[in-house]
Structure 1
Amino acid sequence: MTQDQVAVPAVTRETIHTVDDDSFAEENVCIVTGAASGIGQAVALTAAENGLTVAATDYDEAGLEETVDRADEIGVAGSVAPVVGDLTVDEDIERIVQEAANLGSVKYLANVAGMQHIDAIEEFPMDAYDRIHQIMLRAPIYLTKLCIPHFRETADGRGCVGNMASVHGHYVTSDKVAYNVSKFGLRGLTQSIAAEGEGDVRSFSVSTGYVKTPLVTNQLQDTAEQRGISVDEVISDVMLGQSRVKEMMDPVDVANLFVVGFSKLGRHLDGGDLLFDGGMTLTYE
């Protein structure tokens, strides 16, 4: 696989998996973070195609407009409402949940927003660490805290949180300490929600290998320079070297896992992790 083969594909209606679920209705709201691009955009579109009202949030206003435009182009069954916000600002997090509640009954939360920084621990800038931690771990915790009361006020008193984890929530690769710590933390958050949710507030995480997203393509050059190899070698050796499936997932493949987790098909999925990593973490040479 070369750099040309990791281009981010557009979500189409044909690639979206739908589930016949009475709770997938326009009166129920799904908050999706990181919804301006990549996996977050795909989750927003997929949730909307399954009939939900989606509160799509990101700090990237132009990207959110693209998500809304794509929803219109596809002709999703539900709707996508953009909510611009910065996950490093508590007041914005609070406003995001309130604006979502104004759209209907908040029933689902997809914590997808993420970022990356490549550096060895001894050189890792703490301002970058703090921002990654705020966006990828602290914000999901605070959003969950604010959403749980809304879950309990829904018609059946139930709700669900889906967290975008990673193979890096199972094992780590070098030069990504903030990302690794955050992904391990998300799995801890997932299990904590399940421990307190009494079966009515469910949670799950999704752990994948590398996915064709801007976050991945934007780190290719930095990883190549850090390791002293070519970009193509980063893709073939670092990203896919240990995977038994020699292709990256598309964002919509990941989004479809969120739909299954949120739906009645996931009713016994509570605190668990959906590990779709092509065999990266559970096999070895």
Structure 2
Amino acid sequence: MSEDTVAPAELERSDIERFSDERFTGDNVAIVTGGASGIGRATAIVLAENGVTTVATDVDEDGLEGTVEKGEELGVEGEIHALPGDLTDDAEMAAVVEEAAELGDIRFLANIAGIQHIDAIEDFPMDTYDVMHQVMLRGPLYLSKLCLPHMEEAGGGVIGNMASVHGHYVTRDKVAYNMMKFGIRGLTRSIAAEGEGQNRSFSISTGYVKTPLVMNQIEDTAESRGITEREVVEDVMLGQARTKEMMEPVEVGNLFAFGFSQNARHLNGNDLLWDGGYTHTYE
């Protein structure tokens, strides 16, 4: 591969961090949204390798099967179950939680699913906004509402939410995405405020991660601007960052596993800003 191109994400078993935690067993269940690809797939596999029975949910049924197959290929310790579900449909989300509860005690929820749309505010299609709101904010709230009673019954649990650098500052033409990421941090703090110390919450904010969506954008941007893929990453995407490499999805999955573990018992309502110096450093 040329040094001017960007290697796609790889997930090897050796990349997965293992955390010692008495709750990381097959009797306990984690639900992971967006589990068909990217960060969701990596997180499901990381949690399964840590011994947790993992439910991957998504509207992409083929992608979910790919997640299960990848886990089997790596030989992860725990089980991965594919339960298709639409975050815009309350009945489907309730069914996913009900089926997950039959597999064990629901202890962990990773709200990861997300979509993107680029447009100026005056041109932004409101039907697209509505879908983004349902998938990225209302869906996580509803799933949290459904899962919290199970967590309380089990003796406590943790909800992790996928935020972004766009939950700290905004860029133009991403009004809905910006709003959702600021909002998910509000949900995170609200869960912590009502958790009575028994149920924790945290969010993770990253810059660019090697997800399929981002990788496709790199190729298109390089072609349209007449520059190399490496220049797109280092100058366009990560121009403000100090670390000039995108994160691998498995690195984000490892952060979710850390946040769910007892190592992070004082992480409650907080955000893990893992952005390579993107938001707090200047030239």
What TM-score results when the alignment is normalised by the length of structure 2?
A: 0.94
- 1:44 and 2:44 are equivalent in the alignment: yes
- What's the RMSD between the two structures over aligned residues? 1.8
d(CA) in 1 for partners of 2:45 and 2:204? 17
SS in 2 for 1:145: helix
TM-superposed deviation, 1:235: 2.6
**Does the CA-based 8 Å contact 2:233-2:244 persist in structure 1?**
no
* Code of the aligned partner of 2:135: I
Give the aligned partner of residue 77 of structure 2: 77
Q: Runs (4+) of structure 1 moved beyond 2 Å?
A: 1-4, 217-225, 228-238
Q: Show the 5 A alignment for 1:136-151.
A: 136-151=136-151
d(CA) in 2 for partners of 1:230 and 1:270? 45
Shift in CA distance, 229/124, structure 1 to aligned 2, threshold 3 Å: farther
**Does the CA-based 8 Å contact 1:118-1:219 persist in structure 2?**
no
d(CA) in 1 for partners of 2:203 and 2:46? 17
SS in 1 for 2:282: coil
Q: Show the 5 A alignment for 1:58-137.
A: 58-137=58-137
d(CA) in 2 for partners of 1:131 and 1:220? 25
Shift in CA distance, 2/136, structure 1 to aligned 2, threshold 3 Å: farther
Give the aligned partner of residue 242 of structure 1: 240
d(CA) in 2 for partners of 1:150 and 1:55? 15
d(CA) in 1 for partners of 2:145 and 2:3? 42
TM-superposed deviation, 1:127: 1.3
Q: Tell me the alpha carbon deviations over residues 143-165 of structure 1, each in whole angstroms, 9 at most, x when there is no partner.
A: 000000000111xx110000000
d(CA) in 2 for partners of 1:170 and 1:221? 27
Shift in CA distance, 78/192, structure 1 to aligned 2, threshold 3 Å: same
Give the aligned partner of residue 210 of structure 2: 212
Task: State the number of aligned residues.
Answer: 280
Q: Tell me the alpha carbon deviations over residues 235-260 of structure 1, each in whole angstroms, 9 at most, x when there is no partner.
A: 33331100100100000011100011
Any unmatched runs of 5+ in structure 2? none
Shift in CA distance, 223/118, structure 1 to aligned 2, threshold 3 Å: farther
Match of 1:191 among 178, 183, 189: 189
d(CA) in 1 for partners of 2:235 and 2:215? 15
d(CA) in 1 for partners of 2:214 and 2:124? 19
- 1:5 and 2:13 are equivalent in the alignment: no
- 1:283 and 2:252 are equivalent in the alignment: no
d(CA) in 1 for partners of 2:18 and 2:257? 8
**Does the CA-based 8 Å contact 1:118-1:223 persist in structure 2?**
no
